[in-house]
Structure 1
Amino acid sequence: MLHAPPSDDWTLIDVGESDTSVYRRGDVFAKCCDLSGVQELAAERDRISWLAGTELPGATVLDWTESPSGACLLTSAVRGVPGDALPPASHHQAMRSLGVVLRELHDLTGCPFERSLDDVIATATDVVRRGAVNPDFLTDEWRRLQPSELLDQVIAERPYVESVLEPVVCHGDACLPNVFFDPSTLEVTGLIDLGRLGVADRYADLALTTIQLHDEWSADPAPFLEAYGVPDPDPRRLRFFRLLDPLTWG
């Protein structure tokens, strides 16, 4: 049974895949989970609080309740619209704004959270072992292979990635629905869904963001990469993290 918001005047807006539900009331969001999700939701709460202490835009934690049945996290709403709702005419400028903000995130220091490559690959190994890889997250090419074969490719490429590792503060799920924009100025107004925020290789974010721009906007990510400051990214690291990410959800 899911923990619920503190009153019944909330509108359910999303039911997640991990027994988490999101509600809204005015400018406040409530994310609620059952007992099995409390640790993960508390981790997201702590990451939201940490980022709110920086100069980067985002939500703030308003309240936290916990009971024997689960927990509920209340946060402020982030103004603007998610990236996947922007019209095509705005994509070029939005990509530049996103590149600037993602670089600012990556330049932060003092982050107490970490997503080491060891931990991420261990998560992927567990998901693959349980047969829990979601095929919807895989490309047509990758669906022709067994998830264990995809994991073998990751492990084979791991030594190279470790040899050029650049640890920075990463969002961890830097896809378009998790970045909000002012629809008029196209400036980034906030980053949401911070459950995976932590120190990791910068390409963990770059790989996911660039493939999202290609898949969701049919856009060449060059303006984003130029604004970020890596106009010629390493294709091996992009492919590595694009392959690793879908193996970690399940």
Structure 2
Amino acid sequence: MLKPPGDGWSAVDVGESDMTVFRRDNVYAKCCGPAGVAELAAERDRIRWLSGTGLPGATVLDWLESADGGCLTTSAVPGVPGDALPSSAYVRAMGGLGRVLRELHSVQDCPFERPLAEVIASAADVVRRGAVNPAFLTDEWRKVAPEELLAEVVAESTYVESVLEPVVCHGDACLPNIFFDPDTLEVTGLIDLGRLGIADRYADLALTTIQLHDEWCADPAPFLEAYGVPDPDPRRLHFFRLLDPLTWG
């Protein structure tokens, strides 16, 4: 695995990625072995694209690639991650989150795509390999064979395709990937953009609302109001909440 150049780096133990993350002052370095270079380069390109939209996030500072792997160096995003906010901040933070997610979903001319058929194919591969992580499933879903969960996704995909609303989605819009100013509670940055691309808006709405419910024990209504969809389609929310955990493995 390639390592960041120079001294003074400290390992950061965060996230679910196979990448190794280091920090030095206000700079992060994400490193990988040869097998992860394509994935890390794709994230690099998405960070660069987002930084050109005016939306808050990191900026790419350096990229190294060799036979040992790759290393992406980015600026640190100011603020604190959503999962570190106190409960007194939740309602106001949901307003800021709803507004910035709507702004992201309104951006035009995104060169990256996440077609639903490809996401389902990825889930099918994870299930076939027996690599579904039960920690990502609800208690109810753990009682069901992953093959049955996948079959439900496939059966419901016809409906989802028929009402698809393609927008620029974050792709992993969970609370640790969204940073907030602890005083104003406005969003200061979106991170971990490896899955950013054109997809149905509910791919983000489903993950964000279930995170607000599970991690904050909060009613997501203020978030949905700020986003502009106070009465979301429960069928699509369920679909993407079921699909997402099947794609990590």
Number of the residue aligned with 1:69:
68
**What does 1:153-192 align with in structure 2 at a 5 Å threshold?**
153-192=152-191
SS class of match (1:223)? helix
Distance 2:188 2:219 in 1: 23
Number of the residue aligned with 1:26:
25
Query: Which blocks of at least 5 consecutive residues in structure 2 are unaligned?
Result: none
Number of the residue aligned with 1:109:
108
SS class of match (2:74)? strand
Normalized against structure 1, the TM-score is what?
A: 0.98
**What does 1:89-238 align with in structure 2 at a 5 Å threshold?**
89-238=88-237
Deviation at 1:7, TM superposition (A): 1.6
Deviations 1:43-75 (A, max 9, x none): 000000000001100000000000101000000
Distance 1:20 1:7 in 2: 19
Number of the residue aligned with 2:7:
8
Distance 1:39 1:101 in 2: 28
Q: Retained in 2: the 8 A contact 1:84–1:177?
A: yes
Over aligned residues, Cα RMSD in angstroms?
Answer: 0.8
Number of the residue aligned with 2:41:
42
Distance 1:249 1:3 in 2: 24
Identity among equivalent pairs (%): 76
Q: Write the letter of the residue equivalent to 1:74.
A: T
Deviation at 1:18, TM superposition (A): 4.8
Distance 1:125 1:132 in 2: 10
Distance 2:162 2:15 in 1: 36
Normalized against structure 2, the TM-score is what?
A: 0.99
Deviation at 1:15, TM superposition (A): 6.4
How many residue pairs were aligned?
Answer: 249
Query: Which blocks of at least 5 consecutive residues in structure 1 are unaligned?
Result: none
Q: Retained in 2: the 8 A contact 1:19–1:34?
A: no
Distance 1:57 1:14 in 2: 23
Q: Retained in 2: the 8 A contact 1:22–1:30?
A: yes
Distance 2:175 2:140 in 1: 23
